Copies of this chain bind each other. A is one copy, B any other.
Amino acid sequence: MTEELEKIQIELAASLTKNNRKKFRKLFLSLHGYEQSQLFENFSLAQRKIIYSYLTPEELANVFDDTEEDPVEAGKYLDEMPPAYVARLLREMYMDNVVDILADMRPLKRRKYLNLMQTGEAAQVRNLIHYEDESAGSLMTTEFIAVKEDLSVGSAMHQVKREAQEAELITYIYVIDEAGVLVGVLSVRDLITHPDDEAIKDIMITRVLAVDVNEDQEAIAEQVRDYNFVAIPVVDEAEKIVGIITVDDIIDVIDEESAEDYSHLAGVDTQTISHNPFQTAFKRLPWLITLLFLGMLTATLINHFDTLLSQMSVLAVFISLITGTAGNAGTQSLAVAVRRLAMNSHLKITRLLLNEVATGIIIGVVTGVCVWLMVGFWKQDLVLGGIVGAAMASAIFVANLAGSIIPIGMEKLGVDPAVASGPFISTLSDLTSVLIYFNIAQYFLQMYGH
Q: Is B288 a contact partner of A302 (Cβ separation < 8 A)? A: no
- Within A312-361, the residues touching B (CB, 8 Å) are 313-321, 323-325, 327-329, 331-332, 334-336, 338-340, 346, 351, 355, 358-359, 361
Could you say which residues of chain B place their CB within 8 Å of the CB of A68?
Answer: 226
CA distance A164 to B263 in the complex (A): 43
- Within A106-135, the residues touching B (CB, 8 Å) are none
Query: Would A329 and B192 be within 8 Å (CB), given that A263-B335, A295-B324 are in contact?
Result: no
Could you say which residues of chain B place their CB within 8 Å of the CB of A314?
Answer: 303, 306
Contact-residue size bin, chain A (C-beta under 8 Å from the other chain):
35 or more
A228-B248, A259-B339, A300-B378 known; 18 new pairs, CB 8 Å cut-off, are: A30-B206, A34-B227, A161-B193, A188-B188, A251-B251, A258-B262, A261-B262, A262-B265, A266-B336, A281-B363, A292-B371, A298-B324, A299-B317, A299-B321, A302-B319, A319-B320, A324-B427, A324-B430
Could you say which residues of chain B place their CB within 8 Å of the CB of A289?
Answer: 366-367, 370
Can you offer 15 A-B residue contacts whose CB atoms are under 8 A? Answer: A161-B192, A170-B192, A250-B251, A262-B265, A265-B265, A268-B335, A270-B340, A280-B359, A281-B359, A281-B362, A284-B363, A292-B370, A309-B313, A310-B310, A331-B422
Q: Is A288 a contact partner of B325 (Cβ separation < 8 A)? A: yes
Could you say which residues of chain B place their CB within 8 Å of the CB of A207?
Answer: 30-32
Flag the segment in A45-53, A237-245, A271-279, A440-448 that touches B: A271-279
CA distance A159 to B247 in the complex (A): 27
Could you say which residues of chain B place their CB within 8 Å of the CB of A170?
Answer: 188-189, 192
Could you say which residues of chain B place their CB within 8 Å of the CB of A306?
Answer: 313-314, 317
CA distance A258 to B343 in the complex (A): 13
A296 part of interface (Cβ distance < 8 Å): yes
Query: Would A251 and B248 be within 8 Å (CB), given that A189-B164, A324-B426, A331-B422 are in contact?
Result: no
Q: Is A331 a contact partner of B266 (Cβ separation < 8 A)? A: yes
Q: Is A422 a contact partner of B259 (Cβ separation < 8 A)? A: no
CA distance A271 to B334 in the complex (A): 13
In the complex, how many angstroms separate the beta carbon of A342 from the nearest chain B beta carbon? Answer: 10
In the complex, residue of chain B having the shortest beta-carbon distance to the beta carbon of A308: B313
A44 part of interface (Cβ distance < 8 Å): no
CA distance A144 to B335 in the complex (A): 40
Q: Is A302 a contact partner of B284 (Cβ separation < 8 A)? A: no
Could you say which residues of chain B place their CB within 8 Å of the CB of A359?
Answer: 277, 280-281, 284
In the complex, how many angstroms separate the beta carbon of A364 from the nearest chain B beta carbon? Answer: 9
Q: Is A266 a contact partner of B171 (Cβ separation < 8 A)? A: no
Q: Is B309 a contact partner of A316 (Cβ separation < 8 A)? A: yes
In the complex, residue of chain B having the shortest beta-carbon distance to the beta carbon of A167: B189
A413 part of interface (Cβ distance < 8 Å): no
A209 part of interface (Cβ distance < 8 Å): yes
In the complex, how many angstroms separate the beta carbon of A5 from the nearest chain B beta carbon? Answer: 11
- Within A158-208, the residues touching B (CB, 8 Å) are 160-161, 164-165, 169-171, 188-189, 192-193, 206-207
Query: Would A291 and B247 be within 8 Å (CB), given that A267-B331, A277-B358, A363-B285 are in contact?
Result: no
